[in-house]
Structure formats: structure tokens, C-alpha cells
Amino acid sequence: MGRVPRGRCHPEPGRRTGMMTDHRGRDVEALRQRLRPNGGEHSVVAFQGERGAYGHLAIERLWGARAWDFPCRSFADVIAAVERGTAHYAVLPLHNELIGEIPGVRSAIEAAGLVVVGDVRQPVHHCLLGPPGSSLAAITAVYSHPAALAQCARFLQRHATVVPHEAYDTAGAARDVAARGRRDEAAIAAEGCAERYSLQLLARDVGDRVDNATTFAVVRRGGGP
């Protein structure tokens, strides 16, 4: 399959970006059916961050056990994986209900000429996670992706002694906090990262809205089936 000329992103015929919402379960199921590989095959799906990130959760919802996830450090790396054919698909965040458009992602998809297969609304429930034995009162530093920190502005304002630090990913922040094991450090990430990285849940739903969600685009390289 040849390289796609750079230009606008191309929704597949009969589909449009932004059409899927989770309250219309039939649309989510229709996308699952479109993405399901044949026979016993698996799709390689790229996402930004580490396992447990919200993009990874979106992959699990859409593909289940039929995907081999492909973590990438940056959005550019995700797009490059699809362009090179390393990944069949990618999920990329377009819009969050608290902070709006995710800067640069839509234009990067368009510049790469990727095909938008559909999109899915992924619920976002931020939690504060610390090493075993830590407590909220002892936390002085919290790490997370800049977008996640922005979505937890009220929590951070209420805990003024906690200094926020930007990380490249929510789950990556959780993994790194676990690796350092400092009881004065915590990460903001999905609750599942607590079990995945052996962390302790210090506070649940620390985001500014409990109904927060991020819309992820599902993209593939042009010219394929």
C-alpha cells in the first residue's frame, strides 16, 4: 500500500468525523464490527502513552482481545506508526469536554492524509494515585499529562501545597511514580492504573466534572480496505 499524499484527512465514504456517541450504543457496536479483523487475526493499534492511558482504554473497548496495542511516546509517533504500516490503526484524542480541542492533533491527522474510520467517546475519570503507604495529606507533588492537570484545576486549587508537574502521559506518570516509590509524590490517571502499577488509590474523581469524556478518532492509512 503506497504512501498517501499529504493533505486533508479523509473520512471513509458514508462516515463523518464526530458522529459517534456512547449514548447510541448501536454506533459503537457498528464501529466494533467494522474494525474487527478476520478469523483469528489481530489488529495492531497505536496510541499515545503507556498501557492504562485513556487511549489504551478506548482500544480495549473497541477491539477487546483482538488488538495488539502499540504504545507511542508522542502523537507524532502514533501517526508515524500508521504511516509506516507498523500499526493498522491508531486512536488519537480530538476533543475533551472540559478543555475543548486537543491542540495540534486534528491538523496532524489532516497533514498525514490519514483516513478517519470513526470516533468514540471515552469516559474520563481521573484519580489520584500514590505509592503504597502514602496519603493525600503527605503529597507535595503530582504528575500527569498537561491536559489531565488542566481538567483537575479545582482539585489542585483546593490543595495548594501540591505542586503539579507535567508528564508525557497519565499512565506514564503513574508508572514513574510507582518506580520512584516516594510517598510525597502522586499521579493523576485512570483508576485502573492503580492495579496495573501497584499504586494506592488516594482520591477518586478528582477532575472538575464527573461526566468528563474525551472523543478519540480512529484512523488508518489511506488506500486500504
Query: Which domain CATH number covers 19?
Result: 3.40.190.10
3 within some domain: no
Residue 144: its pLDDT value, please? 98
Residue 37: its pLDDT value, please? 78
Residue 182: its pLDDT value, please? 98
155 within some domain: yes
- Going by C-alpha positions, the residue among 4, 10, 6 that lies closest to residue 118 is 10
Residue 30: its pLDDT value, please? 85
171 within some domain: yes
pTM of the entire predicted model: 0.85
- 135 in the same domain as 120: no
- 168 in the same domain as 82: no
- 167 in the same domain as 116: no
Instruction: For residue 158, give its domain range.
Output: 126-203
- Supply φ then ψ for residue 188, to 5 degrees: -105, 120
- The ranges of the chain with pLDDT < 70 are 1-26, 39, 223-225
Overall domain count for the chain: 2
- 117 in the same domain as 138: no
Residue 26: its pLDDT value, please? 60
d(CA 220, CA 225): 10
d(CA 84, CA 29): 28
4 within some domain: no
Amino acid residing at 221: R
